């Protein structure tokens, strides 16, 4: 059989293309992804933070770290509490030592004692992943290891994340970090393992003052949804177009 | 025994004022090296293409060398990425499940396309040489010769035709590959700029000018590195000629003349791209200051206070203005060129540094700063990979590769080709 080089190359090329086509038609889904894709579409998880009720006790941070196995004594955390002290000169003094885990027992902010007479207002702001409707982190993940479920929560596939850190860079809220043990991107997922079983998130359950609440935004009878719909709420950093789904009552213009 | 856990980035990040708890300098020295190395690849290729496509005869001697050098740089563009991944073994996942809304996902594809173009062009440039070598080595005995003959024979891919038409066809193919290669090289690097420019969360990075700025500075650094390497090699050859034949020998004088001529012409291209790069960077800076968006306050304090020395003295002053003056003064000498080239390379490196590290020098809260302390002496794998040692490893690899590749594809000895 004679076979010219040209013909050989041609056949090889078309053979390779033909062989790779059927393979590319399939997409392998992990069980979690498959479940997420077929999940109930009448749920959209949303979160409500009433900053007026928060006293900065840090129980939420403690509970979250324990529930989600985030190393307790490292500064990173899926959720954290910020303290804002505004003085008469208009300056905002902000801190969140150890993510607010142990509460705010000292009056000092970064070794600076603030005279109580100078303080005009002071408050606490709990932060967590905003589970954005238009998540920048999902957009930039090069391998699709972070994805949005049909009920709106953004998850990370620990078995597929390559640890490039692009999602950490892309998040305007700074909620992401590398998990010290698993060496992959880590973030709050509204305790997905709990809420999908009808439980509350660890932080909501731990909050003694009801400052944190979670609800289904598609269910208008949900008390949390009712508050979001009927009261004046705000979201963080709206200007980034990420459409955050964590709503705040009593947000101040000093909040970063 | 329990494993000691640390947060990635904690080893080299110093926080100042209010910074969110999860914020650290996650993208460190290797991400500075990444655009720097891809920039060198793209720049070296563009330089060689100027001869092949636009027939810039004055660049003939540089063309072949810069083409082979861009091949040596090619694998090194991947290295920093691998070294910075938290899961380096999963790096290939980008090729398996590319998620195309991500700017990084196309890297594998753009990069492979570019690699294919470079390899194809080199093959056409060297085909004649491969065939000749196969013929020359045929009669010679010895294991090394045998090995080389087989290697060259494989490299010919069975195309032994050296007729005039075949050679003309090769030339046309080279021209086509070089022509396709320019936009692809530009894309490869502009796209590195896009990776940064599209991060809307980062006030310093987000700019549509970022890809263009990256291309311009890439070409600048690529040309500078090629010129510098060329000078070093020519000086070595001159030194050998002096040793063999004495200082006043005709061949020494000829080498010296050829060298300064190549440098004078190439430096003109360098200057052109340098001006374009600086103009765009300044435009970006002025525009930010003039529009003074929310982020300007923190950007201003980073640029004019925290990083003033790195940006205005090291990058613009030493890296741009000074070499510009050195190169533009008439009566260019080799010594002056070398100083200017080293400064240009340093300037582009500082530009990458100021973009990558500078972009993380302030908190997303706009209320605090982060300082990067480059790990010099590593005390664990992380501080090795993302420290001075890792960066040096990336920096020297292309020269080692070039040394090896040049043994098979001689790009410096004009007589052989």
Contact between chains at A94 and B94 (C-beta distance less than 8 A): no
Q: Between B18, B23, B201, which is nearest A170 by CB?
A: B201
Q: How many residues does chain B have?
A: 417
Least confident of A138-147, B18-27, B35-44, B299-308: B35-44
Residues with Cβ < 8 Å from A213, sequence gap 6 or more?
Answer: A47, A48, A49, A50, A204, A223, A224, A227
Strand A119-127 with A45-50, pairing: unpaired
Q: What pLDDT score was predicted for residue B365?
A: 96
Q: Between B3, B99, B363, which is nearest A144 by CB?
A: B99
Q: What pLDDT score was predicted for residue B416?
A: 43
Give the residue from B313, B284, B314, B320 showing the smallest Cα distance to B299: B284
Which phi and psi (to 5°) does residue A234 adopt? Answer: -135, 165
CB atoms within 10 A of CB A66: 12
Exposed/middle/buried for residue B235 (C-beta within 10 Å: 0-12, 13-18, 19+): middle
Q: Mind telling me how many Å the CA of B187 is from chain A's nearest CA?
A: 18
Q: How confident is the model at residue A24 (pLDDT cuts 50, 70, 90)?
A: low
On whether the CB atoms of residues A181 and B5 are closer than 8 A, the answer is: yes
Question: pLDDT tens digit string along A225-254?
Answer: 999 999 999 999 999 999 999 999 999 999
Q: How confident is the model at residue B250 (pLDDT cuts 50, 70, 90)?
A: confident
Q: Mind telling me how many Å the CA of B100 is from chain A's nearest CA?
A: 7
Best interface-test mutation with B: which of A4, A141, A164 has the largest number of B CBs within 10 A? A164
Mean pLDDT of A175-190: 97
Q: How far apart are CA B155 and CA B143, in angstroms?
A: 18
Question: pLDDT tens digit string along A27-68?
Answer: 667 666 766 666 556 899 999 999 999 999 999 999 999 999
Question: CA of B221: how far to CAs of A80, B35, B114, B309, in Å?
Answer: 44, 11, 18, 21
**Mean pLDDT computed over every residue of chain A:** 93
- Which domains are delineated in chain A? 45-132+188-249 (3.30.70.20)
Best interface-test mutation with B: which of A98, A162, A188 has the largest number of B CBs within 10 A? A162
Q: Between B6, B10, B102, which is nearest A142 by CB?
A: B102
Q: What pLDDT score was predicted for residue B62?
A: 76
Q: Between A139, A180, A256, which is nearest B102 by CB?
A: A139
Mean pLDDT of A81-105: 96
Q: How far apart are CA B167 and CA B19, in angstroms?
A: 63
Q: How far apart are CA A190 and CA A47, in angstroms?
A: 9
Which residues from chain A sit within 8 angstroms of residue B105, using beta carbons?
Answer: 142-143
Q: How confident is the model at residue A1 (pLDDT cuts 50, 70, 90)?
A: low
Best interface-test mutation with B: which of A147, A174, A181 has the largest number of B CBs within 10 A? A174
Q: What pLDDT score was predicted for residue A39?
A: 56
Strand A246-249 with A45-50, pairing: parallel
Q: Which percentage of chain A shows pLDDT scores above 70?
A: 92
Q: What pLDDT score was predicted for residue A36?
A: 65
In what helix (H) or strand (E) does residue A126 lie, and over which residues does it extend? Answer: strand A119-127
Strand A108-109 with A119-127, pairing: unpaired
Which residues from chain B sit within 8 angstroms of residue A180, using beta carbons?
Answer: 5-8
Q: Mind telling me how many Å the CA of A231 is from chain B's nearest CA?
A: 27
Best interface-test mutation with A: which of B21, B210, B294 has the largest number of A CBs within 10 A? B21
Contact between chains at A165 and B94 (C-beta distance less than 8 A): no
Contact between chains at A178 and B294 (C-beta distance less than 8 A): no
Q: Mind telling me how many Å the CA of B215 is from chain A's nearest CA?
A: 21
Which residues from chain A sit within 8 angstroms of residue B120, using beta carbons?
Answer: none
Q: Between B3, B21, B94, which is nearest A96 by CB?
A: B21
Question: pLDDT tens digit string along B51-90?
Answer: 888 777 767 777 888 889 889 988 898 899 999 999 999 9
Q: What pLDDT score was predicted for residue B417?
A: 43
Q: How far apart are CA A245 and CA A224, in angstroms?
A: 12
Q: What pLDDT score was predicted for residue B286?
A: 95
Strand A80-87 with A246-249, pairing: unpaired
Please list the residues that pair with A93 across neighbouring strands: A85
Question: pLDDT tens digit string along B191-228?
Answer: 889 999 999 999 999 999 999 999 888 889 988 988 88
């Amino acid at each position: 059989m004679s076979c010219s080089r040209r013909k050989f190359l041609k056949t090889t090329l078309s053979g390779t293309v033909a062989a790779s086509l059927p393979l590319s038609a399939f997409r392998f889904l992990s069980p979690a992804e498959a479940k997420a894709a077929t999940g109930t579409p009448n749920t959209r998880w949303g979160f409500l933070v009433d900053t007026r009720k928060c006293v900065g006790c840090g129980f939420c941070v403690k509970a979250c770290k324990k529930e989600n196995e985030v190393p307790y004594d490292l500064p990173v955390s899926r959720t954290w509490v910020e303290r804002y002290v505004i003085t008469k000169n208009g300056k905002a003094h902000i801190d969140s030592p150890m993510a607010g885990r142990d509460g705010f027992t000292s009056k000092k902010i970064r070794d600076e004692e603030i005279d109580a007479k100078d303080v005009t207002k002071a408050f606490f702001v709990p932060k967590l992943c905003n589970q954005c409707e238009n998540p920048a982190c999902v957009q930039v993940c090069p391998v699709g290891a972070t994805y949005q479920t049909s009920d709106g929560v953004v998850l990370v596939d620990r078995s597929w994340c390559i640890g490039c850190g692009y999602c950490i860079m892309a998040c305007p809220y700074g909620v992401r970090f590398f998990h010290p043990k698993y060496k992959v991107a880590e973030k709050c997922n509204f305790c997905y393992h709990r809420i999908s079983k009808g439980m509350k998130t660890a932080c909501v359950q731990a909050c003694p003052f009801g400052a944190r609440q979670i609800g289904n935004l598609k269910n208008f009878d949900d008390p949390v949804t009712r508050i979001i719909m009927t009261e004046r709420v705000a979201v963080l950093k709206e200007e980034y177009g990420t459409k955050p789904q964590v709503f705040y009552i009593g947000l101040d213009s000093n909040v970063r | 025994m329990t494993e000691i856990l640390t947060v990635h980035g904690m080893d080299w990040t110093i926080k100042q004022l209010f910074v969110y708890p999860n914020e650290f300098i996650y993208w460190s020295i290797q991400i500075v090296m990444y655009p720097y190395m891809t920039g060198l690849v793209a720049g070296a290729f563009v330089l060689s293409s100027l001869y092949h496509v636009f027939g810039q005869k004055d660049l003939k001697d540089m063309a072949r060398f810069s083409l082979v050098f861009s091949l040596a740089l090619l694998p090194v563009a991947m290295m920093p990425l691998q070294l910075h991944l938290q899961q380096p073994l999963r790096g290939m996942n980008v090729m398996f499940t590319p998620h195309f809304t991500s700017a990084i996902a196309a890297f594998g594809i753009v990069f492979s396309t570019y690699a294919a173009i470079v390899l194809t062009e080199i093959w056409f440039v060297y085909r004649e040489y491969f065939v000749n070598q196969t013929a020359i080595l045929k009669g010679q005995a010895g294991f090394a010769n045998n090995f080389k003959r087989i290697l060259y024979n494989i490299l010919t891919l069975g195309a032994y035709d050296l007729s005039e038409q075949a050679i003309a066809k090769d030339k046309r193919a080279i021209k086509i590959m070089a022509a396709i290669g320019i936009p692809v090289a530009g894309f490869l690097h502009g796209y590195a700029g896009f990776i940064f420019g599209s991060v809307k969360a980062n006030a310093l990075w987000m700019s549509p000018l970022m890809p263009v700025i990256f291309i311009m500075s890439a070409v600048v650094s690529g040309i500078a590195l090629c010129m510098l390497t060329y000078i070093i090699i020519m000086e070595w050859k001159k030194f050998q000629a002096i040793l063999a034949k004495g200082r006043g020998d005709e061949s020494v004088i000829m080498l010296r003349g050829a060298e300064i001529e190549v440098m004078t012409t190439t430096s003109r291209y360098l200057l052109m791209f340098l001006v374009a790069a600086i103009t765009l960077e300044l435009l970006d800076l002025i525009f930010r200051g003039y529009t003074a968006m929310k982020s300007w306050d923190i950007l201003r304090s980073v640029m004019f206070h925290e990083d003033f020395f790195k940006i205005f003295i090291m990058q613009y002053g030493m890296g741009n203005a000074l070499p510009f003056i050195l190169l533009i003064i008439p009566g260019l000498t080799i010594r002056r060129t070398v100083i200017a080239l080293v400064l240009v390379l340093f300037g582009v490196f500082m530009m990458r540094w100021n973009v990558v590290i500078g972009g993380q020098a302030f908190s997303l809260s706009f209320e605090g700063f982060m300082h990067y302390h480059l790990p010099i002496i590593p005390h664990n794998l992380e501080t090795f990979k993302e420290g001075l040692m890792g960066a040096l490893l990336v920096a020297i690899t292309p020269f080692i590769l070039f040394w090896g590749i040049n043994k098979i594809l001689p790009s410096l000895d004009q007589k052989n080709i």
